Amino acid sequence: MEIIIFWVLASIAIGVWAGNKGRSGFAWFILAVLISPILAAIFLAASSDLSKNPVAALEAPSPKTHVTCPDCAEMVKKEARVCKHCGCKLTPVVEAPVPTVGGTGLTGRQIIGIVLALLLAYGIFSGR
């Protein structure tokens, strides 16, 4: 009986481990149950870590590493001097707040008004 409990617990551990490696935790859990957690652990240890894959990191741009191109609105690396999507010249961002667009931007008071109106609308509609 204990072996079954160990088997399932070990398989769950494999699933969690696989998830940490950027792989499907559920699929690895099933695999571990089917072939044995020990074999699955060996396979998993031998498999490459997808979560540290630089290609995967490139596919998921985040505001921490990327900025939005002002010309084509695609995400490009902060350090980029030329947009890879449209080829327009960019100014590399050096950890500074993005300057607000002068002239066309909304004033702080207008933004507060819009936010209050949205909150009010949300309150009215969600109240019913």
58 vs 120 by CB, closer to Zn ion: 58
The residue range among 8-16, 19-27, 51-59, 80-88 that interacts with Zn ion, by the rule CB under 5 A, is 80-88
Decide if residue 82 touches Zn ion (CB under 5 A).
no
| Separation between Cα atoms, residue 85 and residue 103, nearest integer Å | 27
Residue tagged 């398989």 (tokens): 11
Q: How far is the CB of 90 from Zn ion (least distance, A)?
A: 8
**66 beta partners:** 77
Structure tokens at 62: 């985040």
At residue 48, what is the residue type?
Answer: S
At residue 113, what is the residue type?
Answer: G
Decide if residue 69 touches Zn ion (CB under 5 A).
yes
| Separation between Cα atoms, residue 12 and residue 33, nearest integer Å | 9
Decide if residue 85 touches Zn ion (CB under 5 A).
yes
Structure tokens at 8: 């399932």
Decide if residue 67 touches Zn ion (CB under 5 A).
no
The residue range among 23-31, 36-44, 86-94, 99-107 that interacts with Zn ion, by the rule CB under 5 A, is 86-94
Give the residue, chosen from 35, 42, 72, 119, that forms a contact with Zn ion under the rule CB under 5 A: 72
Give the residue, chosen from 24, 56, 71, 92, that forms a contact with Zn ion under the rule CB under 5 A: 71
Taking the mean position of all CA atoms in its chain, how far away is CA 6?
Answer: 34
Q: How many residues of this chain bind Zn ion (CB under 5 A)?
A: 6
Dihedral Cα 15, 17, 20, 24, nearest 10 deg: -30
Residues of the shown chain interacting with Zn ion in the complex, contacts defined by CB under 5 A: 69, 71-72, 83, 85-86
